[in-house]
Amino acid sequence: MATIKELSKREDLLSGGHRLCAGCGASIAVRQVLLGANAPVVAGSATGCLEVSTTAFPFTAWKTPFIHNAFENAAATISGVEAAYQALKRKGKIDKDVKFVAFGGDGGTYDIGLQSLSGAMERGHDMVYVCYDNEAYMNTGIQRSGATPFGAATTTSPAGKVRAGKPQQRKDLTQVIAAHNIPYVAQASVSHWKDLIEKAEKAFAVEGPAFLNVLAPCPRGWRIKSDETIEIAKIAVQTGFWPLYEVEDGEWKLNFKPKELKPIVDFLKPQGRFAHLFKPGNEHLLEEYQEQVNKNWAQLKKRCGVE
Amino acid sequence: MAKAATKLNAPAKKPKVKAITVAMTGNAGCALAMKQINPDVVAAYPITPQTTIVEEFATYVANGAVDTEYVNVESEHSAMSACIGASAAGARVMTTTSSQGLALMWEELSIASAMRLPIVMHNVNRALSGPINIHCDHSDSMGARDMGWVQMFGETAQEAYDNTIIAIRVAEHEKVLLPVMIMHDGFITSHAIDRFDVLEDDVVKKFVGEYEPKQALLNIDDPKTFGPFAMPAYYFEQRRQLREALDGAKDIVLKVSKEYGKLTGRSYGLFEEYRLDDAHIAIVVMGSTAGTAKYVVDQARAKGIKVGLLKLRLFRPFPAAEIAEALSHLKAVAVMDRADSIGALGGPVYMEVKAALYNSKKRPHVQGYVYGLGGRDTGPDQIETVIDDLKKIARGTEAPREQVTFLGVKG
């Protein structure tokens, strides 16, 4: 792991001046991940906030080669770039070592892009896929996705008289990708920069595919202030809502082990998207929430061999 | 444009290079051409009736006959997505599909052309679902006709092979830089064993040359952003540039085909004119049915009927002026479409040919036919009825029908 002093000397490959919102977790995730590449890198992105806000023609915020294709195919697109690299290197047309990374939001990763991602991971391309998970389709105005957590109000899972936000649990995508038995899979958060950059370094260093699922809060969608992004991401980790762990060559490792988890209400309460859960009569939902977090945490600890 | 320049299959000249006569299927011929081109990347997914191309090519890969990076994607959407990534990266890229596969790629087709990526793809023509059907018609490629791709149709295995090699040079020409879709008829051409001539590997290698893109993602020291977001202030101009490039591809198709003709003795134009010069009536058709139609034309000629044929090779860009010139002297023309444009005036080729003739001072009556959907056999008898119709229209004893006529349909 590079020291913070060394990291400060590395060039930022995503420049300032892009059009992402103040406090957006996506750009923080992207910049931290790219710091971990420490080599020439070709980046790609799925359609979404990141892409529209960084590439409005005739401007670009990318200081490294970048490609956007469509919504559901960032993984397939970068797998094609990587295939071209392998071919041209074999034919002696390229002599440099180049890294490849695809970014997608949770909509482009958990939902519409899952097939493309699964295929690219299975084929074993030497690439990193990074999901900046802000837990809903934020670019189109906060619609629920497969990553939206239980109880969150979105514009397509609003809280109403008979519904308390999203009725389903989110899918556990990190474990889905871990089941592909690729060299490296990790879950990280923008709040834990050292952990995230270390994971990015590992992901870029392994030969073959790697996957990072990075919690990247969206102040607009989560109904928090723009200076609360890092704080809420930290609480997500401390409450066990978003555990930090990695799966390296099949070995599961918990990277953050508090003696005791903070109660889940510490994570839910500050966010407007969960406000309805705190109305009288919804106490059972908060209890259900805590039970679910406890269950998931216990299962993960077991997989990681932690007592 | 000189009329002669547009003519397809001009009398064979002596080839400058050795011809190797083979007997193989159209698909095997396409796979052989791909082997000889030796693209940097092939990303493809199996679908009937194209599958034997990817299977044959996989065998070339397995035996080290090519040094292509062969990406076995999990869908046609990912096939075209990976081709776009690879082509933007600076690689020479090919793929192949049919029917539902092309339909699944639809979103990516317009991105490939808008990004000006010279990807070459076989689309082995097969009917679109539903009902699901694996046999030939042109509805798949016709659904992609507004996607900004060059589209070339072949009649025979020979043409499928030749078009594959020509397509590389057309796609990568600096005035074009567009993807090219090459069609041949599913099962009829793809799976039937045909006798045709192929080139030696090094002749193909020399003809296609090295691909040296000016812009590439892998030019790591000169970072560029590919596929940016364009709002109303920029989108429109970009689309106009795309049209200009595709319109311009017509001349490049002719130029490359002429060069190929000098080399091989097989000359191709935008279309083939068969017994058309002194004809009074004619049939316009694409694909393998042209072979049957030529036979029927010969039979009718033997009976003194002045009938000719125009076989379209290049459908996109549509050679409207050249077609109008080639057909304007006729009294009646039948356009046979192996696809319907449901709810429109008639089949796609019919509409284009009719529109192309509209501003001509002299123009024939035009009647539209839809034939062979879902692989329905189209024999000489159906084409004979077309000639009978044309004779009546030419004599003025019958007015051309406004509605499209279905050939060989029951009930």
CB contact under 8 A, A80 and B72: no
CB contact under 8 A, A72 and B77: yes
Locate the chain B residue with the closest alpha carbon to A125: B71
Select from B68, B85, B230 the Cβ nearest to the Cβ of A81.
B85
Q: How many cross-chain Cβ pairs, A to B, lie less than 8 Å apart?
A: 162
With 60 as the cut, is the pLDDT of residue B4 above it?
no
Residue B10: band (very low, low, confident or very high) from pLDDT cuts 50, 70, 90: low
Select from A62, A72, A79 the Cβ nearest to the Cβ of B85.
A79
List every span in chain B annotated with CATH 3.40.50.920.
271-406
List every span in chain B annotated with CATH 3.40.50.970.
3-264
CB contact under 8 A, B85 and A70: no
Residue A63 near chain B (CB below 8 Å): yes
With 90 as the cut, is the pLDDT of residue A38 above it?
no
Mutation to test the A interface, candidates B38, B45, B217, most A Cβ within 10 Å: B217
Residue A273: band (very low, low, confident or very high) from pLDDT cuts 50, 70, 90: very high
Select from B41, B108, B227 the Cβ nearest to the Cβ of A84.
B41
Q: In what order do the strands lie in the sheet with B365-370?
A: B271-274, B307-312, B281-285, B332-337, B365-370, B405-406
Q: What is the CATH number of domain B271-406?
A: 3.40.50.920
Residues of A in contact with B104 (CB under 8 A): none
CB contact under 8 A, B82 and A57: no
Share of chain B above pLDDT 70, in %: 97
Residue A2 near chain B (CB below 8 Å): no
Select from B75, B218, B231 the Cβ nearest to the Cβ of A88.
B218
> What integer is the mean pLDDT of A243-271?
97
Task: Return phi, psi of residue A129, to 5°.
Answer: -110, 130
Residue A55 near chain B (CB below 8 Å): yes
CB contact under 8 A, B228 and A122: no
- Give the CA distances from residue B39 to residues A90, B67, B86, B168, B182, in Å, rounded to whole numbers and listed in that order: 13, 8, 11, 10, 16
Per-residue pLDDT tens digits for B332-370: 999 999 999 999 999 999 999 999 999 999 999 999 999
Predicted TM-score (pTM) of the model is 0.97
Residues of A in contact with B228 (CB under 8 A): 55-58, 60, 68
Locate the chain B residue with the closest alpha carbon to A55: B228
Q: Which fold has domain B3-264?
A: Rossmann fold (3.40.50)
**Confidence (pLDDT) at B69:** 98
Residues of A in contact with B105 (CB under 8 A): none
With 90 as the cut, is the pLDDT of residue B15 above it?
no
Q: Which domains does chain A have, with CATH numbers?
A: 20-303 (3.40.50.970)
Residues of A in contact with B220 (CB under 8 A): 40, 42, 65, 96, 98
> What integer is the mean pLDDT of A239-260?
97
> What integer is the mean pLDDT of B168-178?
98
Q: What ipTM describes this predicted complex?
A: 0.97
132-151 of A, contacting B, C-beta below 8 A: none
pLDDT, mean over chain B: 96
Residue B144 C-alpha from the chain's centroid: 12
